[in-house]
Structure formats: C-alpha cells, structure tokens
Amino acid sequence: MTEEEIIQRVGLWQKCDFVHPLTCGKDKCDGILVAKVNTDIDPYFDWGEPAVVLTCPKCKDYIQEHIPEVVFNINYEQFDIMSELIEEMKKRNKNG
C-alpha cells in the first residue's frame, strides 16, 4: 500500500460517523489523529512499509507509528452505505 493510500484510508476511518476515531494518546488530550508521511525518519521502516505516522494537531507533539489493522481491513464502500442509512435514520427521528 502506498503512502497516499494509507493516508486516504486513515482519513476515511476518521470521517466515519459510526466508529471511534483514532485519538491522541497523551493524558488530557482528546485530539483526533491525522496521518502524514514522517519526514523525520527513513522513508521506509525495516519491513519495507511506507513511513506514515499518526500525529495530533491539537497538542502538536504526539506521534504514533502504529496504525490499527482494522483501518485497512474495512470495506469503505460499505461505510458509505452505512453513513447514508444513519443519516436517513436521523432524519426520520427528527420528523418523528
């Protein structure tokens, strides 16, 4: 998977209404993590994967190298369908 694909997958996960977003691991910081290419290290880890990390734009100094596998194993086309169903249910509940 390319760096761009990894960043795209993380972005889709973070925008989804029905999963918990990846959040900052620092105490008292609830920032939503953002994927980016880590230019501070070798562009590839030892196992040949692109060096994409998760960073916290809120505290600005949290970096997480691990991205959970579930982010990559989800069928994002189904995410779109589920998001549409959830929005429809919200509309129905408002109109009562």
Per-residue model confidence as pLDDT tens digits over 19-69: 899 999 999 999 999 999 987 655 555 555 558 999 999 999 899 989 999
Tokens found for residue 67: 């991205």
Q: Where are the domains of the chain?
A: 3-95
pLDDT value for 41 = 59
Radius of gyration, alpha carbons of the chain? 16
Mutual orientation of helices 3-15 and 76-95 as an angle, nearest 10°? 20
pLDDT bracket for residue 16 (50, 70, 90): confident
Whole-number Å distance between alpha carbons of 93 and 23:
29
